[in-house]
């Protein structure tokens, strides 16, 4: 039986099929210096400020399960015009074998404001998929841009150029995912196109709320939980798609988060 949430999403999606725009656009407001994003859905009446990216990326395994709502921090780093940081610090986390994850805290300035702009201006699409013999809505909205399509914000091209320069590879087009609140998520998976390849890169910039980003080896064993904040860059590399899975699990309560991702394969 469909949950209250999926029913309300289905209503807003109407009879649209897969990959058709399905959700009313969120509205953006400002209370003082902190961005406020209102999302037109079940939680629409609860205006929340996005969290800021001041803290270093943490391993929160010990906190996972109850670390659901971070204190709000209004930061000069996460508001204002978006720009790539001129002196980012990269740390590499080695997973078992050749997979690795790079983390660059505060890599993008103005990430909260960019989150608000994209939330309201991107023509989001409601993905749908078969699950247990019925069609269900994906618990998030998405929009993938072909290389030939105009981007919703010029910073996305700048980010791509910076990533290409840093990793010395030609990253492709951008994919955006919109997690409207803690009910939105993506289950453990590997990237569909890259999972058979041994040398790939997926670069993900977090905009807005801080959510756990979980990684686990496919064969079983200890996983990792990272907590990328607004403006943080996270890059999965090596055999990460071949040997590990990743997920953004549901949390009890949090504000909107958008992830912007770019991919490359050898
Ligand atoms: O939103 C994220 O941080 C992860 C997105 C992701 O894993 C995917 O779309 O395949």
Tokens of 191: 């990237």
Cα atoms in the Cβ-side hemisphere of radius 13 Å centred on 211: 32
Q: Which of 53, 188, 248 to mutate to test the pocket of ligand 1 (most atoms within 8 A of CB)?
A: 248
Would the pLDDT of 184 be above 60? yes
> 88 or 196, which is more confident?
88
The CB of 230 under 6 Å from ligand 1? The reply is no
Cα–Cα–Cα angle for 79, 80, 84, rounded to 5 degrees: 90
The CB of 246 under 6 Å from ligand 1? The reply is yes
Query: What is the CA(260)–ligand 1 centre distance, in A?
Result: 8
> 24 or 56, which is more confident?
24
Biggest CA pair distance of the chain = 51
Query: What is the CA(186)–ligand 1 centre distance, in A?
Result: 7
Tokens of 50: 């996005």
Instruction: Break the chain into its structural domains and give their ranges.
Output: 4-265
Give CA–CA dist 230/78, Å, rounded: 7
Would the pLDDT of 43 be above 50? no
Residue 237 CA, chain-centre distance (Å), reads 17
pLDDT at 85: 94
pLDDT at 192: 75
Tokens of 53: 């990216």
The DSSP code for 48 is E
Mean pLDDT of the chain: 78
pLDDT at 186: 96
Pick among 3.40.50.2300, 2.60.120.590, 2.60.120.10, 3.40.50.670: CATH of 4-265: 2.60.120.590
How many other β-carbons are positioned within 10 Å of the β-carbon of residue 180? Answer: 27
- Residue whose tokens read 């749908």: 128
The CB of 248 under 6 Å from ligand 1? The reply is yes
Would the pLDDT of 232 be above 70? yes
Confidence of residue 197 (pLDDT cuts 50, 70, 90): confident
Give CA–CA dist 168/82, Å, rounded: 23
Query: What is the CA(180)–ligand 1 centre distance, in A?
Result: 14
Query: What is the CA(20)–ligand 1 centre distance, in A?
Result: 19
Give CA–CA dist 210/215, Å, rounded: 16
Give CA–CA dist 165/168, Å, rounded: 5
């Amino acid at each position: 039986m469909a949950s209250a949430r999926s029913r309300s999403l289905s209503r807003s999606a109407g009879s649209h099929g897969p990959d058709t725009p399905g959700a009313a656009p969120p509205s953006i407001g400002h209370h003082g210096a902190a961005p406020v994003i209102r999302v037109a859905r079940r939680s629409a009446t609860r205006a929340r400020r996005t969290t800021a990216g001041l803290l270093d990326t943490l391993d929160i395994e010990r906190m996972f399960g109850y670390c659901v709502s971070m204190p709000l921090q209004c930061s000069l780093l996460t508001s204002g015009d978006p720009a790539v940081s001129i002196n980012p610090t990269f740390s590499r986390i080695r997973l078992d074998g050749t997979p690795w994850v790079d983390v660059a805290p505060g890599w993008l300035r103005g990430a909260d404001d960019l989150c608000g702009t994209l939330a309201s201006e991107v023509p989001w699409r409601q993905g749908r998929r078969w699950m247990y013999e019925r069609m269900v809505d994906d618990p998030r909205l998405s929009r993938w841009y072909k290389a030939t399509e105009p981007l919703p914000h010029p910073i996305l091209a700048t980010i791509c150029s910076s990533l290409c320069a840093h990793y010395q590879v030609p990253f492709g087009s951008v994919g955006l995912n919109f997690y409207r609140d803690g009910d939105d998520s993506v289950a453990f998976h590997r990237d569909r196109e890259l999972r058979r390849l041994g040398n790939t890169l997926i670069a993900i910039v977090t905009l807005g709320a801080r959510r756990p980003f979980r990684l686990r080896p496919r064969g079983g064993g200890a996983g990792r939980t990272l907590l990328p904040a607004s403006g943080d860059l996270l890059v999965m590399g090596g055999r990460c798609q071949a040997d590990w899975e990743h997920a953004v699990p549901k949390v009890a309560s949090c504000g909107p988060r958008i992830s912007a991702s770019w991919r490359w394969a050898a």
